[in-house]
Structure 1
Amino acid sequence: MSVHRVIEAPNAPAPVGSYSQAKQIGRLLQVSGQIPIDPQTGHILQGSVTEQVSQVLAQIDAILAHGGAGWSDVLISRVYLSTDQDFDEFDAAYGRHVPEPYPARVTVGAELAPGVLVEIEVLAVLPDTA
């Protein structure tokens, strides 16, 4: 029987809709799309793409850690940018935070919530504990 659990990291933003921060089934851990939420105010972080990427990746770090994973366990990240013009700035910030070898990645332009420049979700494969 495979493990089914919901991840609720206390040091990442609580969901504001009908979704979980992350869900584990078996060794797969899917982290929901994270947008840059200022932990002090609970509002969208107003800032550059670099600042928003840093905040989103810090949230993902917290959720992965709470679920027993890290970036070395991430198989793929899916990135949504409000404009393709931000790709180079996004990629530089992402590359400074995410360690090599990098996970596979999809990056697309998308209409995001007002003020949100980036949203990122990841799929991790948890280490085999057997």
Structure 2
Amino acid sequence: MPNKAIIHSDKAPKAIGTYSQAVKVSDTVYLSGQIPLIPETMEMIEGDFAAQATQVFKNLQAVCEAANGSLKNIVKLNIYLTDLSNFPIVNEVMSQFFEQPYPARAAIGISELPKGALVEADGIAVI
């Protein structure tokens, strides 16, 4: 595979399974799912859904920066929610991290996430 590189940031949670934080192939970065872990402690952030969503976007931002990019480079974002009633909150939090034009996005309701997280997000960035 041409120009394949593993992306890692100490400012984002280390992988808790058999995956990399991100993989860059040419100018495309495939970001693994981030849950609201605090990188320094690997513990879930305390607080409500908004606090969890904020930490998820901070973690994605750190991985994008490790790939020499930013959240602005994300072209596709998938957000996984254990409770779809939090959809308006995730929109509000996301607006603090992204500007128009927004990336393409899916919001997916699921039954549970690792470590009891309420939200997870992954994406694809072009840098």
Q: CA RMSD in A?
A: 1.4
Q: Secondary structure at the match of 1:97?
A: coil
TM superposition score normalised by structure 2: 0.92
Residue of structure 2 in register with 1:125 after alignment:
126
1:14-29 residue pairs with structure 2 within 5 A?
14-29=14-29
3-state SS of the aligned residue for 1:9? coil
Which residue pairs with 1:112 in the alignment? 113
Question: What's the counterpart of residue 101 of structure 1?
Answer: 101
Report the Cα distance in structure 2 between the residues aligned to 1:57 and 1:72, rounded to whole angstroms: 12
List structure 1 runs of 4+ shifted beyond 6 angstroms.
none
Q: Residue 37 of structure 2 aligns to which amino acid in structure 1?
A: I
Deviations along 1:62-97, one digit per CA (max 9) or x if unpaired, are 100110111222111000001111111111111122
| Identical counterparts, % of pairs | 30
Counterpart of 1:90 in structure 2: which amino acid?
A: V
What is the CA distance between 1:59 and its match in structure 2?
0.8
Q: How does 1:1-130 map to 2 (within 5 A)?
A: 2-110=2-110, 111-126=112-127
- For residue 68 of structure 1, give the secondary structure of its aligned residue in structure 2: coil
Q: Which runs of 5+ in 1 are unaligned?
A: none
Q: Report if aligned partners of 1:71, 1:99 keep a CA contact under 8 Å in 2.
A: no
37-46 vs 101-110, greater mean Cα deviation: 37-46
Question: Aligned residue pairs: how many?
Answer: 126
- The whole-number CA distance in structure 2 between the counterparts of 1:46 and 1:115 is 12
- Partner Cα separation in structure 2 for residue 8 and residue 58 of structure 1: 14
> What's the TM-score, normalizing by structure 1?
0.90
Q: 1:56 & 1:74 partners in 2: Cα distance?
A: 14
Using a 3 Å threshold, how does the CA distance of structure 1 residues 47 and 84 change in structure 2: closer, same or farther?
same
The 1-side partners of 2:40 and 2:30 are apart by 25
Q: Which moved more, 1:72-81 or 1:107-116?
A: 107-116
